[in-house]
Structure 1
Amino acid sequence: MAFETLKKDLVDVDTDMRSYLETSEEYYKLKVFKVLMGTVTTITQSLFIGAVVFLALFMLSIGVSIALNEAMGNFYSGFLIVGAFYILVAICSYVFKNVLHRPLLQKFSKHYFNRP
Structure 2
Amino acid sequence: MAFEEVKENFSEAEATARSYIESSREFYKLKGFKVLMRGVMVFVKIASVGIMLIMALLFLSIGAAFWIGTELEKTSLGFLIVGGFYLLVGLLIYIFRHTLRKPLLKKFSEFYFDEI
TM-score normalised by length of structure 1:
0.91
Q: Which residue is equivalent to 2:28?
A: 28
1 CA distance for matches of 2:78 and 2:103?
Answer: 35
SS in 1 for 2:94: helix
2 CA distance for matches of 1:68 and 1:18?
Answer: 73
CA contact (8 A) 2:69 2:79 kept: yes
TM-score normalised by length of structure 2:
0.91
2 CA distance for matches of 1:97 and 1:18?
Answer: 49
1:22-43 residue CA offsets vs partner (Å, 9 max, x unmatched): 1111111111111111111111
Q: Which residue is equivalent to 1:51?
A: 51
Quote how far apart the aligned CAs of 1:88 are. 0.6
Paired residue type of 1:35: V
Paired residue type of 2:8: K
1 CA distance for matches of 2:35 and 2:109?
Answer: 15
Paired residue type of 2:36: L
Q: Which residue is equivalent to 1:18?
A: 18
Paired residue type of 2:40: V
RCO greater where, 1 or 2, for CA within 8 Å and sep 6 or more? 2
CA contact (8 A) 2:65 2:75 kept: no
Gaps of 5+ in 1: none
Q: Which residue is equivalent to 2:65?
A: 65
SS in 2 for 1:76: helix
Deviation >4 Å, runs of 4+: none
Quote how far apart the aligned CAs of 1:81 are. 0.7
Given the alignment of the two structures, is residue 89 of structure 1 paired with residue 89 of structure 2, yes or no? yes
2 CA distance for matches of 1:106 and 1:28?
Answer: 23
Gaps of 5+ in 2: none
Aligned residues: 116
RMSD of the TM alignment (CA)? 1.4
Quote how far apart the aligned CAs of 1:114 are. 3.4
